Structure 1
């Protein structure tokens, strides 16, 4: 079955779908987060002004299947609905932003092993490791850059 896929800019009408994708994705992939940290991040994201950065939504028909948030040359967030993982959609999204938005950087939670493998598979390599994340929590990050960028 061929999926009808398109990438479109975020708009406020997509907000509730985007937040649902984030939650499903994080619950499926961020097993290392404490419940407290999960709810703290969720609350912060619910109040986040997505218009402050470039957010592109991966649409399957009229449903948000994933999204990527960009700031300058960096992927700030990329989440895919777990129902769509393994179908090449995340790769399409990364290729789209690296080609059209000159993105070459991403930070990945070191404990999110599948995400690290994914970014390596699509051409990124780790160049630095932090002991804490950007919120000063004990979740090490791998700073990655696109090879040949």
Structure 2
């Protein structure tokens, strides 16, 4: 079940986040993630299994470029292949598509996850090597409504 983030979720989310370091996230991104939770907690979601957080994802509207963005999506690797990533992205896209300010969707990811977002219709807009950290390239992707 998807539910809104609560400040008491922070420690569990950090544990799940750290299960994805260094493969999907650089260790230096931890502070950026914590800053996001402090600045935009109302835009973050979790999915639990047996009262334990197994997925985290955020979404927000960037009014400057009229985009709806999915951000900080990660999950416990033990839950890979169970459709929880798809469920969370579908939820975010549905919420963003209802916002009249949104003209396109943008996601920033890496070479390790861009194919996942292609399944939703995102296309690569730009690539920047070692953007997130050594060996983790930026794949900026977009999809128009």
TM-score, with length taken from structure 2:
0.77
SS at match of 2:82: coil
- Which of the numbers 117, 120, 127 marks the counterpart of 2:118? 120
Unaligned runs of 5+ in 2: 62-67, 98-103
Q: Which residue pairs with 1:83 in the alignment?
A: 78
Indicate the RMSD between aligned Cα atoms, in angstroms. 2.4
Instruction: Check whether the contact 2:47–2:55 (CA below 8 A) recurs between aligned residues.
Output: yes
CA distance in 2, matches of 1:46, 1:89: 20
The 1:139/1:87 distance shift into structure 2, 3 A limit, reads closer
Structure 1 or 2: larger strand share? 2
Matched, 1:67 2:68: no
Matched pairs, number: 131
Task: Give structure 1 stretches of 5+ with no counterpart.
Answer: 1-5
Partner of 2:131: 133
The 2-side partners of 1:116 and 1:46 are apart by 19
Superposition deviation, residue 25 in structure 1: 2.2
- Partner of residue 3, structure 1: none
